[in-house]
């Protein structure tokens, strides 16, 4: 969808190019994060795609057409752009700001009003804000308006320069989740810039890690970047806790879980003790026709005839296929049972995850 071929940008009067020789392919419906230190050329790269900055070398193709052969105004209408530090028009209200591109592409009032209603819902903005001016909003509100405005006319391509930088961690997390939701539905082609490695890991299909001069150090899915950083620069950039960050990307459903110690409630207490001793956890799950009833401790079985006789206790936490291994790890380290119990819909028993099993994925 977007293809950068040996792209170069030299600003006049500067010794080194802002972007030297950058080649990057971005697929349709893909979300790519540009990350790297301040001044490495992220904003320059983004702006060359919609021709706010003209490259001094190389080619940029959008949908197989050289952007330099397209009318810049029409080109920009088809590309949503979130400017670093939001860049709202100061003398126009929030409503006017959001409707800018829909008006340019001649949507009628009714359609624009419906779209605005939809966007303020998505971005959790108060309708009261619509008639204010940008200076009358908080930084975080302005930022959300900036993203809403870029999405307004539903462009297939979005360029976003640090879209969530000015909001607190809680709102930021919510916006990121909304972003993932929206993107799962709309599958736009998105290039976004961020300083936050965790944000890039969470939101992108692939991360482009740039060094000063727009040098591409690695371009790969977050999972690969964390597992096999290309070089010391990337290793340092992704920072500590690479293993934990990787666990956050792997779903419980992606790996095989252990069977774990299991008995049915009608099993004899002797049988339950045998299963307990074999597994070595000191407890056993009681499962009745696939449904997990809970767990019993070895000494609770004393004087009982069957495994179901002491009332099985519920596990303090469960994980499902959709949870990440990082959540499963949390469940392991905070539970008394030293294992995370995996269930599917309706408490259907799937198995367990232990620290040992999860560590295998960290080093894999
Ligand atoms: N108009 C300009 N004239 C000369 N040099 C410029 C101009 N705009 C940017 N630069 C230089 O080009 C380099 C890349 O700038 P750019 O804005 O792309 O960086 P960035 O990666 O977006 O940084 P940040 O993370 O701080 O936003 C920097 O060294 C910057 O000083
Ligand atoms: Mg920038």
Tens digits of residue pLDDT in 75-85? 888 898 888 77
Q: How far is the CA of 20 from the centre of ligand 1 (A)?
A: 13
Which numbered atom of ligand 1 lies nearest the CA of 193? 22
**Which protein residue's CA is at the shortest distance from atom 12 of ligand 1?**
18
Which numbered atom of ligand 1 lies nearest the CA of 47? 18
Query: What is the reported pLDDT for 124?
Result: 82
Q: Are residues 104 and 17 in the same domain?
A: yes
User: How far apart, in whole angstroms, are the C-alpha atoms of residue 242 and residue 232?
Assistant: 13
Q: Any residues with Cβ below 6 Å from ligand 1, and which? A: 11, 14, 18, 38-44, 84
DSSP string, 22-67: EEEEE-TT-EEEEE-STTSSHHHHHHHHTTSS--SEEEEEETTEEG
Query: What is the reported pLDDT for 364?
Result: 56
Confidence check: pLDDT of 196 > 90:
no
Q: Are residues 155 and 277 in the same domain?
A: no
Residue 215's CB: how many other CB atoms inside 10 A? 16
Q: Mean pLDDT: which of 211-225, 241-255, 310-324 is highest? A: 211-225
DSSP string, 242-286: HHHHHHTTSBGGGSPPB--SEE-TTSBHHHHHHHHHHHTSSEEEE
Q: How far is the CA of 85 from the centre of ligand 2 (A)?
A: 9
Instruction: Determine, yes or no, domain membership for 119.
Output: yes
Q: What's the token pair of residue 204?
A: 């992108």
What's phi and psi for 359, nearest 5 deg? -60, -30
CATH code at position 349: 3.10.580.10
Q: How far is the CA of 146 from the centre of ligand 1 (A)?
A: 21
Which numbered atom of ligand 1 lies nearest the CA of 45? 18
317: nearest Cα among 275, 347, 356:
347
User: How far apart, in whole angstroms, are the C-alpha atoms of residue 237 and residue 33?
Assistant: 14
Instruction: Determine, yes or no, domain membership for 209.
Output: yes
Give the domain range for residue 51.
2-239
Structural domain ending residue among the three candidates 211, 239, 267: 239
Per DSSP, the three-state class of 104 is helix
pLDDT in tens, 146-164: 989 988 888 889 999 998 8
Q: Are residues 217 and 146 in the same domain?
A: yes
Which numbered atom of ligand 1 lies nearest the CA of 34? 21
CATH code at position 23: 3.40.50.300
Q: How far is the CA of 171 from the centre of ligand 2 (A)?
A: 22
Mutate to test the pocket of ligand 1, among 18, 86, 195 (most ligand atoms within 8 A of CB): 18
Mutate to test the pocket of ligand 1, among 11, 15, 161, 208 (most ligand atoms within 8 A of CB): 11
pLDDT in tens, 259-285: 999 999 999 999 999 999 999 989 999
Q: How far is the CA of 44 from the centre of ligand 1 (A)?
A: 6
User: How far apart, in whole angstroms, are the C-alpha atoms of residue 83 and residue 112?
Assistant: 22
Higher local confidence (pLDDT), 167 or 224: 224
User: How far apart, in whole angstroms, are the C-alpha atoms of residue 284 and residue 298?
Assistant: 8
- CA end-to-end span of the chain: 33
**Which protein residue's CA is at the shortest distance from atom 29 of ligand 1?**
39
Give the ligand at the shortest distance from the Cα of 47.
1
How many Å is the Cα radius of gyration of the chain? 26
Quick one: pLDDT band at residue 132, thresholds 50, 70, 90? very high
Query: What is the reported pLDDT for 255?
Result: 92
Give the ligand at the shortest distance from the Cα of 41.
1
What percent of the chain stands above pLDDT 70? 99
Structural domain ending residue among the three candidates 192, 216, 239: 239
Q: How far is the CA of 47 from the centre of ligand 2 (A)?
A: 10
- Burial pattern 320-342, b for ≥16 Cβ within 10 A else e, equals beebbbbbbbbbbeeeebebbbb
Q: Are residues 232 and 271 in the same domain?
A: no
Beta-strand relationship, 215-220 and 206-211: antiparallel
How buried is residue 288: exposed, middle or buried, by Cβ count under 10 Å (0-12/13-18/19+)? middle
Which numbered atom of ligand 1 lies nearest the CA of 13? 4
Instruction: Determine, yes or no, domain membership for 248.
Output: no
pLDDT in tens, 175-194: 888 888 888 888 899 999 99
Quick one: pLDDT band at residue 348, thresholds 50, 70, 90? very high
Q: What's the token pair of residue 154?
A: 């539903």
Q: pTM of the predicted model, to two decimals?
A: 0.78
Beta-strand relationship, 262-263 and 283-288: parallel
Whether the Cβ atoms of residue 196 and residue 38 lie closer than 8 Å to each other: no
280: nearest Cα among 331, 339, 330, 333:
339
pLDDT in tens, 2-61: 999 999 999 998 889 999 999 999 999 999 999 999 999 999 999 999 999 999 999 999
Mean pLDDT of the chain: 91
Q: Are residues 228 and 285 in the same domain?
A: no
Q: Are residues 60 and 162 in the same domain?
A: yes
Give the count of domains, the chain: 2
Q: What's the token pair of residue 47?
A: 């702006």
pLDDT in tens, 243-252: 888 888 889 9
Q: How far is the CA of 205 from the centre of ligand 2 (A)?
A: 21
Instruction: Determine, yes or no, domain membership for 232.
Output: yes
Place of tokens 């030293």: 338
Angle between helices 139-151 and 94-104 in degrees, nearest 10? 20
Which numbered atom of ligand 1 lies nearest the CA of 195? 25
Quick one: pLDDT band at residue 295, thresholds 50, 70, 90? very high
Q: Are residues 138 and 276 in the same domain?
A: no
Report the sign of the C-alpha dihedral through residues 96, 100, 102, 107, in that order: positive
Per DSSP, the three-state class of 186 is helix
Q: How far is the CA of 43 from the centre of ligand 2 (A)?
A: 4
Residue 94's CB: how many other CB atoms inside 10 A? 26
């Amino acid at each position: 969808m977007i293809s950068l071929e040996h792209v170069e940008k030299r600003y006049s009067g500067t010794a080194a190019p802002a972007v030297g020789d950058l080649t990057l392919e971005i697929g349709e419906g893909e979300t790519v994060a540009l990350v790297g230190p301040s001044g490495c050329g992220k904003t320059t790269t983004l702006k060359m795609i919609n021709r706010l900055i003209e490259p001094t070398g190389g080619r940029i193709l959008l949908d197989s057409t050289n952007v330099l052969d397209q009318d810049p105004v029409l080109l920009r209408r088809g590309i949503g752009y979130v400017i670093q530090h939001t860049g709202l028009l100061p003398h126009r209200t929030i409503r006017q700001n959001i409707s800018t591109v829909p008006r340019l592409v001649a949507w009628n009032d009714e359609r624009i009003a419906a779209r605005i209603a939809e966007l303020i819902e998505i971005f959790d903005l108060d309708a009261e804000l619509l008639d204010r001016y940008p200076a009358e909003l908080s930084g975080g509100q302005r930022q959300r308006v900036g993203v809403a405005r870029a999405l307004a006319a539903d462009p297939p391509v979005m360029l976003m320069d640090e879209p969530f930088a000015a909001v607190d961690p809680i709102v930021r997390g919510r916006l990121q989740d909304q972003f993932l939701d929206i993107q799962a539905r709309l599958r736009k082609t998105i290039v976004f810039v961020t300083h936050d490695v965790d944000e890039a890991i969470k939101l992108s299909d692939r991360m482009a890690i740039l060094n000063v001069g727009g040098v591409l150090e690695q371009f790969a899915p977050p999972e690969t970047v964390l597992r096999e950083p290309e070089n010391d620069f990337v290793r340092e950039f992704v920072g500590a806790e690479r293993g934990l960050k990787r666990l956050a990307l792997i779903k419980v459903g992606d790996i095989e879980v252990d069977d774990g110690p299991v008995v049915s409630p009608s099993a004899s207490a002797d049988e339950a003790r045998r299963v307990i001793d074999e597994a070595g956890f000191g407890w056993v799950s009681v499962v009745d026709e696939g449904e997990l009833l809970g767990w019993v401790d070895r000494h609770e079985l004393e004087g009982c005839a069957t495994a179901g006789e002491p009332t099985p206790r519920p596990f303090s936490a469960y994980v499902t296929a959709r949870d990440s291994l990082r959540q499963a790890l949390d469940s392991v380290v905070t539970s008394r049972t030293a294992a995370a119990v995996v269930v599917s819909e309706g408490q259907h028993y799937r198995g367990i995850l232990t620290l040992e099993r999860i560590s295998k994925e960290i080093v894999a």
